[in-house]
Amino acid sequence: MTRLKANALLVFIALVMGSTFVVVKQAVAEVDPLTFLALRFGIASLVLGIAFRSKVARLSRSDWSSGSIIGLWLTAGFLLQTIGLTSTSASKAGFITGLSVVLVPLISALWLKRPPTAAAALGVVSATAGLALLCLGDELRPGLGDMFVLGCAFAFAMHIICIGEAARTGGAMNISIIQLFVTAIVCIAGALFAGSTPLPVVLRHSEAIIFMALVPSALVLSLQVYVQRFVSATNTALVLSLEPVFAAIFGTAILGEVLSTRAMLGACLILVGMLIAELRPAIFSFASRRVSYTA
């Protein structure tokens, strides 16, 4: 897969995941987060397990080890994000989740000893400034719901990094099946322990639950694992920084959440950060080929 195709698929992933903030925001107004996540990932893991049952029978100990770690980070991310959405807006939650674009290269540099390229670092600086404009209010501090989503950003950053490490050696579908299965088991156990939402309430949101299970969970998360075989974790995080922009667009169009001028400026800075990181290496490579050809 070429870099361009991989990034095009990541933009599609960001678009789908950006739309989910509105769906989840509306559903968790009545369905408790653990019940929602248990049903979402239970259905998703069941669908993938049946569709790829031949792979399930051949899962190795290594697959289970790496997939379980990835699944636990995924569980933490979605649980914190879903709880946060009960007390913050879909647009703002999308923006704070986008902080993973900053955390991925920082964690990679500290943990994996892989400092980002100059272009990626410049893109991260621009995206950081944009996220600050988007996330912080006039009092320059987030609310309780924002803090939950901030924890989600860290969990998703670790999720991206762990996928990047595992996808190079393990099968993409194997990892996808295990991460969804682990997330489902943890959330089902939590829902049973904490008490679940009554069935009539759940049925009112069955369409949202099925959509979240099949499209963002079974399809898109599996696609992300596959795509990350061809691009770096930092590259993935930068392109996925479009997710909060899409979340804001859907939040405005469907929920009527209005962005301020400062928030719009922040969204533009996120786009600039992604373009700097992605286009600068391509421009440099093109210029080098031109110079070589001229010489």
Give residue-wise pLDDT tens across range 85-126.
Answer: 888 888 778 878 877 877 887 787 777 776 767 777 787 788
Cα distance between residue 19 and residue 42, in whole Å:
21
| pTM, rounded to two decimals | 0.78
Question: What is the radius of gyration, based on Cα positions, of the chain?
Answer: 19
Say which amino acid occupies 287: A
Cα distance between residue 22 and residue 118, in whole Å:
35
Q: Angle at CA 80, nearest 5°, toward 76 and 84?
A: 170
Contact 77, 159 (CB under 8 A): yes
Q: What is the pLDDT of residue 15?
A: 92
DSSP annotation string for 135-166:
H--TTS---HHHHHHHHHHHHHHHHHHHHHHH
Contact 269, 261 (CB under 8 A): no
Q: Angle at CA 155, nearest 5°, toward 56 and 92?
A: 120
Structure tokens at 258: 């209005």
| Unique residue bearing structure tokens 């980070």 | 73
pLDDT band of residue 16 (cuts 50, 70, 90) is: very high
Give residue-wise pLDDT tens across range 34-71.
Answer: 999 999 999 999 998 888 888 887 888 888 888 899 99
pLDDT band of residue 295 (cuts 50, 70, 90) is: very low
Structure tokens at 133: 């404009």
Cα distance between residue 39 and residue 239, in whole Å:
29
DSSP annotation string for 118-132:
HHHHHHHHHHHHHHH
Give residue-wise pLDDT tens across range 226-281.
Answer: 898 888 877 887 788 788 788 888 888 887 877 677 777 887 887 787 677 666 55
* Sequence-ordered list of residues with C-beta below 8 angstroms from that of 217, at least 6 positions apart, any chain: 40, 41, 43, 44, 180
**How many CB atoms sit inside 10 A of residue 96's CB?**
27
Contact 286, 279 (CB under 8 A): no
pLDDT band of residue 213 (cuts 50, 70, 90) is: very high
pLDDT at 293 over 50: no
Q: Angle at CA 242, nearest 5°, toward 239 and 244?
A: 140
Contact 128, 153 (CB under 8 A): no
Q: DSSP E strands: which ranges in 48-200? A: none
Give residue-wise pLDDT tens across range 158-208.
Answer: 998 888 777 666 677 788 889 999 999 999 999 888 877 888 889 999 999
* Sequence-ordered list of residues with C-beta below 8 angstroms from that of 60, at least 6 positions apart, any chain: 174
Note the maximum CA span of the chain: 73
